[in-house]
């Protein structure tokens, strides 16, 4: 199934996820993207392959339409609500990153029923319990490169213990300095 994590920290916010696609207990691919960069906002998702693809396609379309019509990226609550509607319809678990109304990068977790959680650290997927083991003991009052390293460590810990999580990791970062 893969594993995705999101971390909200003083230096910004990070999404990370591996590239394994495992369905029915069998690894189907080691090249499936679970982390998506939409410019000023990012998302990650786990679930069935076609559902992830449809989630990404629809979320990207909604984001592009919003930015074209408004000239600005969605804030985190708007982006999370749009993602939650799509995740609920597609049956995927997702994590999104965007700026709040004070320009601070935020993480929002979305369950497969479309519920939104505001935890600073979150993990979904087959290796989530292992990733959370790394995240639960960590301080997030660190700079963005250290946060990215923490996210990678969490995915690597999951990969060490979960056959449906791989070692190839993609990340998305949103800096707290407005860049």
What are the CA-CA distances from residue 159 to residues 3, 63, 152 (Å)? 8, 31, 10
Q: What is the pLDDT of residue 39?
A: 95
pLDDT in tens, 64-99: 999 999 999 999 999 999 999 999 999 999 999 999
Q: Which helix (H) or strand (E) holds 165?
A: none
pLDDT in tens, 51-68: 999 999 999 999 999 999
Average pLDDT over all residues of the chain = 94
Q: What is the pTM of this model?
A: 0.95
User: What is the average pLDDT across 150-162?
Assistant: 97
Helices (H), the chain: 49-70, 76-90, 128-136, 144-161
Q: What is the pLDDT of residue 132?
A: 96
Taking each continuous run of H as one helix and of E as one strand, the counts in the chain are 4, 11
* Domain 3-162: homologous superfamily in CATH: Aminohydrolase, N-terminal nucleophile (Ntn) domain (3.60.20.10)
Question: What does the domain layout of the chain look like in residue ranges?
Answer: 3-162
What are the CA-CA distances from residue 143 to residues 70, 85, 168 (Å)? 31, 32, 23
39 CB-contact burial (10 Å; exposed 0-12 / middle 13-18 / buried 19+): exposed
């Amino acid at each position: 199934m893969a594993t995705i994590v999101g971390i909200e920290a003083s230096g910004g916010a990070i999404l990370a996820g591996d590239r394994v696609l495992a369905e029915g207990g069998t690894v189907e691919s080691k090249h499936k993207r679970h982390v998506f960069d939409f410019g000023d906002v990012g998302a990650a998702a786990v679930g069935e392959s076609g559902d992830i693809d449809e989630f990404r396609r629809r979320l990207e379309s909604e984001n592009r339409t919003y930015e074209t019509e408004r000239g600005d990226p969605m804030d985190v609550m708007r982006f999370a609500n749009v993602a939650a509607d799509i995740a609920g319809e597609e049956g995927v678990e997702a994590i999104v990153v965007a700026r709040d109304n004070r320009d601070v990068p935020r993480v929002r977790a979305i369950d497969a029923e479309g519920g939104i959680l505001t935890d600073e650290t979150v993990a979904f997927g087959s290796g989530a319990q292992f990733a959370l083991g790394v995240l639960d003991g960590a301080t997030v009052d660190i700079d963005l490169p250290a946060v990215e390293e923490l996210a990678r460590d969490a995915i690597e810990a999951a990969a060490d213990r979960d056959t449906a999580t791989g070692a190839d990791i993609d990340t998305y970062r949103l800096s707290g300095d407005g860049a």
